[in-house]
């Protein structure tokens, strides 16, 4: 069976070429052709000798996804539904939006697993359980499939899955996409959004420190967080705060705290006070308030306390913004990625 070339980082490719008695620099040529020039098959990589192109195409493939559907939202977001080689379905969302300076950027929201084992009560992916983790090649392919159509400026791991529970593959995918010999997307252009697994936050800080981190907090009070995010029960908020402090201190990066507002669940004045208490002991932090995107069979409602929350945070000296939902009309917004179409 052929293997995914995108599962190999530059060092592994060099090892492969040495093992077939080819010079190491072939790895750089191949990396450049696949990630920079976006060649779709080995026969087109004319920098490589013909016989080597043949060996490569007998051993590896570059792309394997099928685009099953493409939904365009009124706001310009596009949700792609890809079918993977084992017929699993995964969703990737393209967004064209302005950054903090008003410049238009293309952001791609990518998935790291099919389903998620953490079962957050408000999240469509969480309702599926974990079907399987994605390989690094599959994580990269979502990016490459879209990047060859429209140049992507930013990547956010906010699609399906908990990236830090598939740490090794996510790390490898980030390394390959950011490798200077290939696509060279700056690590600072990549946001890893996590429900907050302390041990993995330390590991990420030490190993891929330039990557941006966003923490899905959703409650500043332990029992409320345990209720909303049952899969995180084994990790206390105190532990999480220590890990966040380690990240911000060591990297100097600001951390984004995501807070999904759910009507009468975590949107009262006492909830915002708990949030402020949690944040007070942190440095370099900003809050993104998220509007709830309805999920079928889930009973939560959209909160009307957005402005109250925003003001309270700002009055307490905490930077806060309201994140507008992208593509809710096509179920492409965060937390709605659960492939209804699978059925
Ligand atoms: N597992 C990671 C990344 C994927 S979820 C995480 O939890 O951070 C990406 C974001 O979507 C998270 O902030 C998550 O809390 C949010 N989200 C989940 N369900 C949602 C919903 N129904 N409406 C709005 N945002 C949701
Ligand atoms: Fe998993 Fe994130 Fe959804 Fe929670 S919000 S179930 S961690 S994908």
What's 305's DSSP letter?
A: -
Same domain, 205 and 133: yes
Residue 225 CA to ligand 2 center (angstroms) comes to 13
C-alpha neighbours within 13 Å on the C-beta side of residue 81: 18
Q: 22, 40, 91, 306: which one is catalytic? A: 91
Instruction: For ligand 2, say whether the CB of 193 is within 6 Å of any of its atoms.
Output: no
Considering the domain architecture, whether residues 206 and 240 belong to the same structural domain is answered as yes
Domain boundary among 38, 61, 84: 61
Instruction: Tell whether 162 and 309 lie within a shared domain.
Output: yes
Residue 198 structural domain: 66-330
Domain match, 80 and 123 both: yes
Q: Is residue 174 part of a domain?
A: yes
Query: Is the same domain home to 100 and 205?
Result: yes
Domain end call among 61, 88, 110: 61
The answer to the question of residue 296 being in a domain is: yes
Is the domain of 85 the same as that of 143?
A: yes
Same-domain pairing of 36 and 182: no
Residue 300 belongs to some domain of the structure: yes
**Long-range CB pairs of 305-311, under 8 A, 24+ apart, other chains included:** 305/261, 305/263, 305/267, 305/268, 306/261, 308/269, 308/272, 309/259, 309/261, 309/267, 309/272
Specify the CATH number for the domain of residue 128: 3.20.20.70
Q: For position 338, what pLDDT does the model report?
A: 62
pLDDT at 210: 93
Residues 224 and 109 grouped into a single domain: yes
Q: What does the block give as tokens for 148? A: 């060859």
Same domain membership, residue 121 and residue 81: yes
Whether 161 lines ligand 2, by a CB cut-off of 6 Å, is yes
Of the residues 20, 39, 61, the one at which a domain ends = 61
Angle between helices 306-315 and 269-280 (to 10 degrees): 40
Distance from Cα 42 to the centre of ligand 2, integer Å: 37
Tell me how far the alpha carbon of residue 281 lies from the centroid of ligand 1, in angstroms: 24
The Cα 332–Cα 156 span in angstroms is 14
Phi, psi of 159 (to 5 degrees): -85, -140
Among all bound ligands, the one having the nearest atom to the CA of 292 is 1
> Quick check: is 337 in a domain?
no
Q: Is residue 125 lining ligand 2, measured as CB closer than 6 Å?
A: yes
Write the DSSP symbol of residue 237. H
Q: Whose CA is nearest to atom 5 of ligand 1?
A: 158
Query: Is residue 180 domain-shared with residue 207, that is, in the same domain?
Result: yes
Please check whether residue 251 is in contact with residue 204, taking contact to mean a CB–CB distance below 8 angstroms: no
Q: What is the pLDDT along the chain (343 residues), one digit of tens a residue?
A: 999 999 999 999 999 999 999 999 999 999 999 999 999 999 999 999 999 999 999 999 999 999 999 999 888 899 999 999 999 999 999 998 877 677 889 999 999 999 999 999 999 999 999 999 999 999 999 999 999 999 999 999 999 999 999 999 999 999 999 999 999 999 999 999 999 999 999 999 999 989 999 999 999 999 999 999 999 999 999 999 999 999 999 999 999 999 999 999 999 999 999 999 999 989 899 999 999 998 888 899 999 999 999 999 999 999 999 976 666 665 555 556 665 544 4
- Would you state the pLDDT for residue 75? 84
Atom of ligand 2 nearest to the CA of 119: 6
> Could you give the 3-state DSSP secondary structure of residue 334?
coil
Give the total number of structural domains in the chain.
2
**pLDDT of res. 283:** 87
- Ligand 1 pocket at CB < 6 A: 122-123, 158, 162, 193-195, 216, 258, 260, 290, 292-293, 295, 334-335
Q: One of 109, 116, 120, 334 is an active-site residue; which one?
A: 334
Query: Is 336 contained in some domain?
Result: no
Active site residue 334: yes
- Annotated active-site residue 116? The verdict is no
Let me know whether 53 and 70 are in one domain: no
Please tell me if the CB atom of residue 126 comes closer than 6 angstroms to any atom of ligand 2. yes
pLDDT value of residue 11: 97
Rounded to the nearest angstrom, the distance between the alpha carbon of 18 and the centre of ligand 2 is: 41
Residues 170 and 30 in one domain: no
Is 343 part of a structural domain of the chain?
Answer: no
Is residue 97, in this structure, part of any structural domain at all? yes
Instruction: Choose among 188, 157, 172, 3: nearest CA to 92.
Output: 157
- Cα 26 to ligand 2 centroid, rounded to whole Å: 40
Residue 287's closest CA among 244, 262, 254, 263?
254
Return the CATH number at 53: 1.10.150.530
Does 341 fall in a domain? no
């Amino acid at each position: 069976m052929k293997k995914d070339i995108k599962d190999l980082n530059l060092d592994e490719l060099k090892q492969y070429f040495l093992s077939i008695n080819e010079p190491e620099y072939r790895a750089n040529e191949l990396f450049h052709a696949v990630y920079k020039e976006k060649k779709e098959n080995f026969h087109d990589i004319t920098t490589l000798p013909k016989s080597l192109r043949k060996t490569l195409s007998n051993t590896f493939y570059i792309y394997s996804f099928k685009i099953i559907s493409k939904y365009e939202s009124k706001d310009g977001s596009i949700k792609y539904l890809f079918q993977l080689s084992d017929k699993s379905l995964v969703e990737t969302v393209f967004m064209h939006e302005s950054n903090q300076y008003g410049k238009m950027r293309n952001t791609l929201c990518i998935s790291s697993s099919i389903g998620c084992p953490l079962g957050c009560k408000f999240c469509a992916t969480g309702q599926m359980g974990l079907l399987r983790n994605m390989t690094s090649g599959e994580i990269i392919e979502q990016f490459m499939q879209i990047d060859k159509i429209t140049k992507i400026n930013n990547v956010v791991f906010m699609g399906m899955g908990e990236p830090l529970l598939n740490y090794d593959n996510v790390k490898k995918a980030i390394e390959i996409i950011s490798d200077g010999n290939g696509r060279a997307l700056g690590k600072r252009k990549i946001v890893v959004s996590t429900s907050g697994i302390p041990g993995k936050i330390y590991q990420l800080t030490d190993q891929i420190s330039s990557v941006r981190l966003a923490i899905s907090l959703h409650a500043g009070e332990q029992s409320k967080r345990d209720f909303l995010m049952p899969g995180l029960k084994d990790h206390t908020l105190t532990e999480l705060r220590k890990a966040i402090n380690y990240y911000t201190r060591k990297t100097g990066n600001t951390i984004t705290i995501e807070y999904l507002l759910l009507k009468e669940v975590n949107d009262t004045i006492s909830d915002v006070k708990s949030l402020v208490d949690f944040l007070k002991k942190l440095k370099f932090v900003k809050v993104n308030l998220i509007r709830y995107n309805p999920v079928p069979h889930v009973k939560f409602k959209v909160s009307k306390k957005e402005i109250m929350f925003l003001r309270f945070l700002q009055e307490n000296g905490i930077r806060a913004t309201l994140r507008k939902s992208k593509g809710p009309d096509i179920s492409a917004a965060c937390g709605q990625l659960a492939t209804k179409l699978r059925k």
